[in-house]
Structure 1
Amino acid sequence: MLFLVAALLLLGMVMGTVAHTPLPVTLVAAGLIAVWLVIFAIRERHGRRRQTSAH
């Protein structure tokens, strides 16, 4: 429950920050986060394939 409250507070802070930044800055930041998440997902998938094939 405490984790949920902390997550909601953090989300509120982030959304408040996004509301005060210009739209192009927000879109660039969102794009960078999306690229980072895609790279992370590819690396995780590649790492799991290598690990399971060795066993």
Structure 2
Amino acid sequence: MLFLVAALLLFGVTLGTVAHVPLGFTAVAATVIAAWLAVFALRERHARRRGTSH
């Protein structure tokens, strides 16, 4: 539960920051985060198919 509270607090701070930065920077940051999450998802899927957790 404490992790959820910390995550929501960090999310709120991030959204507050995004409101004050240029749209171009926000788009680049969103693209980088999306790519990072896609790579992570592919690695996790590949690891689960092999039967190992890490």
TM-score (norm 2): 0.81
Matches within 5 A, 1:6-25: 6-25=6-25
State whether structure 2 residue 39 is matched by structure 1 residue 46.
Answer: no
Answer 1 or 2: higher relative contact order, Cα 8 Å, separation at least 6: 1
Task: Kindly state the Cα deviation for residue 9 of structure 1 after the two structures are TM-superposed.
Answer: 1.9
The one-letter code of the counterpart of 2:29 is A
TM-score (norm 1): 0.79
Tell me which stretches of 4 or more aligned residues in structure 1 moved more than 3 Å: 1-5
Q: Provide the aligned C-alpha RMSD in A.
A: 1.6
Point out the structure with the larger helix share: 1
Note the residue ranges of structure 1 that are not aligned, 5 or more in a row.
none
Equivalent residue pairs, number = 52
